[in-house]
Amino acid sequence: MEDSINNIKAVLFDLDGTLRHHLPSGGEVFVEYVRSMGFQVSEEDRIRAEHWEHFYFASSLEIRKDSETYKDDRSGFWVNFGRRRLVALGLKPADALELAPKVSAHMDEAYKPQVHVPPDAHTLLSSLKNEGYVLGVVSNRETPYHDELKELKLDSYFKFLLAGGEVNSYKPDKIIFERALELAGTSAPETMYIGDNYFADVMGAHRSGLIPVLYDPTSLFPDTGGFAFIRSFTELPELLK
């Protein structure tokens, strides 16, 4: 992999969970509320549910089915998501079914996170752009998000922004990565992809021939399967060297 990294011409990033964060996270607030209702949730349970959520949003069969079932019922989608997440936390299916509407209502009413961009992200992006790397963002968002990146003062770093809905393809599918390579003007072995979702970002990029890097500041995935990982953006320049 060292030879491939030495030939990198483009560095592409995931958006949510990588460049853009919610503080506190939805998972933290979800677990806190479940515990407040008297349910025992261990650290092992919490991590298992976090892994499940990452897998779910990696264009899984579950989310594809749920998106079709609840395509005209956004509230129903999130109640069902809550039910699935409660089961992933270790609750009995019957309890999860009963509690899901209440938990979903709490998240809708009480969860008001702050949007956060890691300070070291600006330093890294400025440095990479000055060094001549092609930079882009590839997200599983349904719609374009240029205005949002402009508000976050991130838009000026990137040659392109790509949302999965624009090409009807979502990570880890190959089509979205192939389109990203077209926009970057680079080949897969010349392109590094950085994201926080092991299933969508790392496996998707790997299967498409890109060089994947897992961004994992909380060590959610201690076993990276041999793929490169960083805990903060300050570690990336050394990886590129």
pLDDT category, 229, cuts 50, 70, 90? very high
Residue 214 has pLDDT above 60, yes or no: yes
Rounded to 5 degrees, φ, ψ at 123 are -60, -45
CA angle, 126 then 129 then 131, to 5°: 110
**Orientation angle between helical segments 74-88 and 93-110, nearest 10 degrees:** 120
SS3 117: coil
Separation between Cα atoms, residue 113 and residue 24, nearest integer Å: 6
Which residues partner with 135 through β-bridges? 11
For position 13, what pLDDT does the model report? 98
pLDDT category, 1, cuts 50, 70, 90? very low
Residue 50 has pLDDT above 60, yes or no: yes
For position 6, what pLDDT does the model report? 66
| Mean of pLDDT over the chain | 95
Residue 67 has pLDDT above 50, yes or no: yes
Cβ–Cβ < 8 Å for 205, 185 = no
Average of per-residue pLDDT across 73-77: 97
CA dihedral 232, 233, 238, 241 (to 10 degrees): 150
189: which DSSP letter? G
How much of the chain exceeds pLDDT 70, in percent? Answer: 98
Cβ–Cβ < 8 Å for 224, 51 = no
For position 5, what pLDDT does the model report? 61
For position 241, what pLDDT does the model report? 83
Residue 107 has pLDDT above 50, yes or no: yes
pTM attached to this predicted model: 0.94
SS3 186: coil
Average of per-residue pLDDT across 155-183: 97
Residue 3 has pLDDT above 70, yes or no: no
Separation between Cα atoms, residue 19 and residue 14, nearest integer Å: 7
9-47 tens-digit pLDDT: 999 999 999 999 999 999 999 999 999 999 999 999 999
Separation between Cα atoms, residue 29 and residue 208, nearest integer Å: 35
114-133 tens-digit pLDDT: 999 999 999 999 999 999 99
For position 2, what pLDDT does the model report? 44
